[in-house]
Amino acid sequence: MGSVLIYLYIVYVKHLLPLIILFLLFQSCSKDSCGCSFALGRYVGQLMMNDEKQVDEIRVKAKLPNECATYLGKTIDIKLQQYMDGVKFGDEMSDKLEMDLDIITTINAGKINEYNSSWFLTRVGCD
């Protein structure tokens, strides 16, 4: 009976241990590569566009390799999308954004759809 238990233990650990190690590696990699990933929204009122449609919200998103605080005062590359009445309007565009204290504070608060200054967070973290 003892040898059967030892045999089952060896077989079980032999197959389970690599899976555990693989899981831990993927978990640590995702944490390390996440950095500063976010999406912010900002209500801009009613902006008139060329075809007379009105844009009322702009959302920006970025995936940066380092902690958010390291980008304070720097200009970063973002993707920008305009919205009209909650629906995407036009194509996504590339743009630049200066990471000021209000933006960093909003991201670090981590509270989705809660205003901090004129920005609100729509997504934070790795997706």
Q: What is the pLDDT of residue 22?
A: 45
What confidence score (pLDDT) does residue 30 get?
39
99 by Cβ neighbours in 10 Å (0-12 / 13-18 / 19+) ranks as buried
Q: Are residues 1 and 63 in the same domain?
A: no
In sequence order, the β-bridge partners of residue 74 are none
pTM recorded for the entire structure? 0.64
Which residues does 55 contact at the CB level (< 8 Å), separation at least 6?
44, 46, 47, 49, 82, 83, 84, 89
Supply the DSSP symbol for 112. B
pLDDT at 115: 77
Torsion sign across C-alpha atoms 66, 68, 73, 76: positive
| pLDDT score at 34 | 75
Q: Does residue 52 share a domain with residue 3?
A: no
- Same domain as 57, residue 117: yes
- To the nearest whole percent, how much of the chain has pLDDT over 70? 65
Residue 79 has pLDDT above 90, yes or no: yes
Burial bucket for residue 36 (CB in 10 Å: 0-12, 13-18, 19+)? buried
Are both 43 and 18 inside the same structural domain? no
| Mean pLDDT score, 74-95 | 93
Are residue 19 and residue 48 in the same domain, yes or no?
Answer: no
pLDDT of residue 19: 47
Please report the pLDDT score of residue 72 as a whole number: 96
Domain that holds residue 118: 35-124
Are residue 25 and residue 45 in the same domain, yes or no? no
Residues near 124 by beta carbon (within 8 Å), at least 6 away in sequence: 37, 38, 39, 107, 110, 112
Question: What's the mean pLDDT in 70-82?
Answer: 96
pLDDT band (50, 70, 90) for residue 28: very low
Q: Do 40 and 78 belong together in one domain?
A: yes
